[in-house]
Amino acid sequence: MELDASTRSPARPCRDPRIDSFLASLSPWELLRLREDLRSHNIKITGLADLSDLPSEIVSMIAVKLELDDVLCCRMVSRSWHATWTRGAVTSTICHYFFPGLLEKAEIDQDARSPAELLQSCIDSYLWHKRGAYPESSFIEWTTKPFANPSLSQDDELNKELSRPKPFFKPFYAGGMLAWQVDLVSAIVYDIRTHQHHLCSFAAYGIDSWCLELQGMSSNLLVFSAKRRAFLDHRVQVFIWHIQFQTWERFPLPDTWQPLKSCFVEGEQVAIVTDQGSIIRWSWGGRALELDQSASLNMIPEGYETGIFHPGVILDPKKQRTTYLAMVYQSKSKVRDGYARYGERVYLMSVVRYEDEVPTHRWLEIIQRNLLSTLKIAAPYMNSYIALLCPRMSAYGLYSIGTVWADSGVVEFATTAFSIYKESFIQRPIRYRDFFDIESMQSMRKILHATKWYPDLHSAPLTTWSEMHPMVPYYYHVKAPDSNDYKPEWKACRIYGDDDFRVSISNTGFKAWSFRDGQTAIGRRRVGV
């Protein structure tokens, strides 16, 4: 680690030769007398080294062995400790370890703030989400009419859509907006900040013969997969609705027999992964491109196989021509006594960077065994699959590689990620927060508090690393309010978040917390239960 002159510890004389020369000058009787005085404590040793006497390299090594809460506690012990933990080199280490990509993004954005100021802003946000009381919250039921917006009349077409049953209910969240589908050709976008509803309907465009299904969203786009209602027509197309422009575009998938497996949306960019592994990239106003996966950079490493893993895509928010294709390979199983030992596999992360549709660079790194989840995420048979979701974890370019969609829902397969600004993998120790930890505002009990929902104790827990990043989505099973205790009915609860909001969604309704200190419509009005 390189240190600047202002943070480097002052040079000190080497003490060992001086002590040795002093002891060599003493007679045997003087050495015996010195030993006896030390044993009887007649000689008092003062001036032992304090934490502030340690060089920045040692303090930095200590910092990466702690959790962020421990580092913050160390900074508050005393003034000398605070000065030690806020040295320039130590601050940079804390930024790189707990907030990877923060300094690199600031350099790209030409942010004039110092590393200490950048770190303090991240710490303030972390403490605000974790320990601070939520300023305002509202629980809104789907049956609420007209969704606490008096400007809409009861006869309004939008209110009729809101009051319909929602058999296609599949909510999404992005940038303070919720979106869900209400019928085969319509969806609703709800702005949490303003309480405004926007109806996205394809019915007026003469495409009633298509069955649409909402697959993803950003603050700009809604993405639908579409199939013909004709029984023998298997063509699949992708319809994109622009929320601001109130218009739409579409493009076909390359193979009619390749249904859409997963969808990734960033700004005005869309990436589609088909069931056969084809990757289609599209941007608003542009054309669809299929990423080339036949190059040498995409070859499966020797000794590994794809197994049940499906790739994920990371779209660079600043460079529309840059795409990252993420994949996890598993080592080929060793067959002993006719049985494959699945617990002995080694997992290898791979990220390939594309410029347009051409691969240009590849990163490979083995997932450390102690970072793998002990949860059973997939059964060892052919119908199982694990799809990489690659959700954004932070505003400084960190994307999770370990958050996957598996048989049991969205789980954390491993505490691993990739930073697009550092262009390197990030691996952290896997630790779980206690389910009943009342100090953590992101614990399951706090998130579902006062919503009539009762969490399932067997749901996948949060790791302490993911708790630091509210953008990571989680799915839980909650007990339906009207189900009996003898045979409870469990339904999925989806939890989304970012720096401004925390949203919990179920079939009953959704609860939204605002971190904007009353500056939103939710902060001004309480609706629902």
Q: What's residue 382's pLDDT?
A: 47
Q: Which whole-number Å values give the CA distances from 470 to 66, 251, 275, 410, 431, in the listed order?
A: 20, 33, 29, 15, 16
- 450 pLDDT above the threshold of 70: no
CA angle 312–317–318, rounded 5-degree value: 135
Q: What's residue 526's pLDDT?
A: 34
CATH of domain 170-290: 2.40.128.630
More confident of the two residues 437 and 509 = 509
Secondary element (H or E) of residue 240: strand 236-242
- Which residue type, as a one-letter code, is found at position 250? R
Residues above pLDDT 70, as percent of the chain:
70
pLDDT in tens, 189-243: 888 888 888 888 877 776 667 788 899 999 999 999 888 766 566 678 899 999 9
Other Cβ atoms closer than 10 A to 175 = 15
- 339 pLDDT above the threshold of 50: no
- Which residue type, as a one-letter code, is found at position 193? R
- 518 pLDDT above the threshold of 50: no
| Residue written as token pair 């020369």 | 21
Q: What's residue 34's pLDDT?
A: 84
443 vs 432: CA distance, rounded Å: 11
More confident of the two residues 145 and 433 = 433
- Which residue type, as a one-letter code, is found at position 254? P
Which of 21-25, 123-127, 361-365, 450-454 shows the lowest per-residue confidence on average (mean pLDDT)?
450-454
C-alpha 366, offset from chain centre: 20
Q: Is 188 helix (H, G, I), strand (E, B) or coil?
A: strand
Q: How confident is the model at residue 332 (pLDDT cuts 50, 70, 90)?
A: confident
- 463 pLDDT above the threshold of 80: no
Q: What's residue 280's pLDDT?
A: 92
Q: Is 326 helix (H, G, I), strand (E, B) or coil?
A: strand
Q: What's residue 240's pLDDT?
A: 92
Q: What's residue 25's pLDDT?
A: 87
- 360 pLDDT above the threshold of 90: yes
- b/e 272-294 (16+ beta carbons within 10 angstroms → b): bbbbeebbbbbbbeeebbebebe
Encoding tokens for residue 343? 């617990």
DSSP string, 266-297: ETTEEEEEETT--EEEEETTS--EEPP--SGG
Domain edges within the chain: 16-97, 170-290, 300-430
| Residue written as token pair 């949860």 | 375
